[in-house]
Amino acid sequence: MSDLVSIIVPIYGVEEYLNKCINSIINQTYKNLEIILVDDGSPDKCPEICDAFEKKDDRIKVIHKKNGGLSDARNAGLDIAHGDYFVFVDSDDWIESTMVEHLLFACKKYNVEMATCARYITDGHSTRTVAFNGPARTYSAEEVLNEILLGKSMDVAAWDKIYAHNLFEEIRFPVGENNEDIAVFYKLVDLAGRVAHTGTTEYFYRSRLGSITKLKYSTDARKIIEKNLNSIEDFLGKTYPSCMPSFYRYRVMNIYALLNKYIKCNGTKKTQEYDHLMNEFRKNKSYFFNDDQTPSKEKKIAIMILLHLYNPYLLVKEKIIGHK
């Protein structure tokens, strides 16, 4: 009998996109699926949409629960999943009809417990770009970590991947944290040992203004990211020391993203949070400016930030004296 694949879909406030997401899952060429729809207390019509699909397809199971966030919803799905393999799909995204088939085939062909594919980045109407594409091959754990940290053929996202069920025996997503994938990716890679890439592009990531990644700046979220970065640094230093140069690049990219987001949300008025971000970026800036992958546009923005010229409303006096 073929392997059972559990697809876990955390759902909240996406009634406009949910039908497309679920239809792309039920129409997979690989049919032996357990589809777990986790209604995370969604306030719109998502609960009714889930129930309607459950009545039409006996592979679908619906969980209705109190809102607990993305990690809590994923964990609820993991807790009842019976699959030999797990796949995560975010409820505003959708997948190619062949994604599960190709991911599972890669696991079998290369005898690995984890596989990934490339993704399309789209606004739902037109495809903007293809991200994290690579050749069909296997990577050692060390190679995977470097690929992720350098932003090449893989990243930390839980979706666009397949996992053997045993990888999640003792791992769950941290509840109450944004950027939750950062906290678990290196543990999963270490457990898997090797990871395969399908060499295909199968996942459609919808970039939209209302998504969780577009929320306003949060100091608490910054502290969580820094906590996770410190944990990754400690782990890599002990287990994969050759990955440390790649990690330093990864860390400064996260710091720069936080700093850029803070300025866009709050401006450049001196605050304790602004000073903290500026100090962290200054300490690590050499990894940013020496990185060949960093677009020249971002380097120019970073220079303007360091010179306090990024905010067009700064006083001319501050620009002249190099206000700090």
Longest CA pairwise span in the chain (Å): 74
Nearest to 257 by CA among 233, 230, 229: 229
**Predicted confidence band of residue 207 (pLDDT cuts 50, 70, 90):** confident
Q: What is the pLDDT of residue 313?
A: 44
Task: Please state the rounded mean pLDDT for residues 116-120.
Answer: 96
Q: What is the pLDDT of residue 286?
A: 93
Please give the Cα distance from 139 to 197 (Å, whole number). 8
Q: What is the pLDDT of residue 126?
A: 78
Higher pLDDT, 316 or 240: 240
Task: Please state the rounded mean pLDDT for residues 126-146.
Answer: 92
**Predicted confidence band of residue 179 (pLDDT cuts 50, 70, 90):** confident
Q: What is the pLDDT of residue 199?
A: 96
Q: What fold characterizes domain 5-212?
A: Spore Coat Polysaccharide Biosynthesis Protein SpsA; Chain A (3.90.550)
Return mean pLDDT, the chain: 91
Helices (DSSP H) in the chain: which residue ranges? 18-26, 46-56, 70-80, 99-110, 141-149, 185-192, 219-239, 244-266, 272-289, 296-306, 316-321
Q: What is the pLDDT of residue 1?
A: 73
Q: What is the pLDDT of residue 254?
A: 93
The residue with tokens 């696991």 is 107
Q: What is the pLDDT of residue 215?
A: 55
- Answer yes or no: is pLDDT of 323 > 80: no
Q: What is the pLDDT of residue 147?
A: 94
- Answer yes or no: is pLDDT of 100 > 50: yes
- Answer yes or no: is pLDDT of 132 > 90: yes
Buried b (16+ CB within 10 A) or exposed e, 80-107: ebebbbbbbbbbbbbbbebbbbbbbbbb
Q: Please, are residues 77 and 8 in contact by the beta-carbon 8 Å criterion?
A: yes
Q: What is the pLDDT of residue 209?
A: 58
pLDDT, tens digit (0-9, with 9 covering 90-100), for 40-85:
999 999 999 999 999 999 999 999 999 999 999 999 999 999 999 9
Task: Please state the rounded mean pLDDT for residues 280-297.
Answer: 91
pLDDT, tens digit (0-9, with 9 covering 90-100), for 222-277:
999 999 999 999 999 999 999 999 999 999 999 999 998 898 888 888 899 999 99
Among the ranges given (63-77, 102-116, 141-155, 260-274), the one the predictor scored with the smallest mean pLDDT: 260-274
| Range with top average pLDDT, 15-24, 172-181, 267-276 | 15-24
- Answer yes or no: is pLDDT of 316 > 60: no
Which of the 8 DSSP states describes residue 324? -
Q: What is the pLDDT of residue 311?
A: 61
Provide the CB-side half-sphere exposure for 55 (13 A, CA): 6
Q: Cβ–Cβ contacts within 10 Å for residue 318, how many?
A: 14
**Cα dihedral sign, 28-33-39-40:** negative
Stretch(es) of the chain classified as CATH 3.90.550.10: 5-212
**Predicted confidence band of residue 322 (pLDDT cuts 50, 70, 90):** very low
What percent of the chain is modeled with pLDDT above 90?
A: 78
Buried b (16+ CB within 10 A) or exposed e, 258-296: bbbbbbeeeebeeeeebebbbebbeebbebbeebeebee
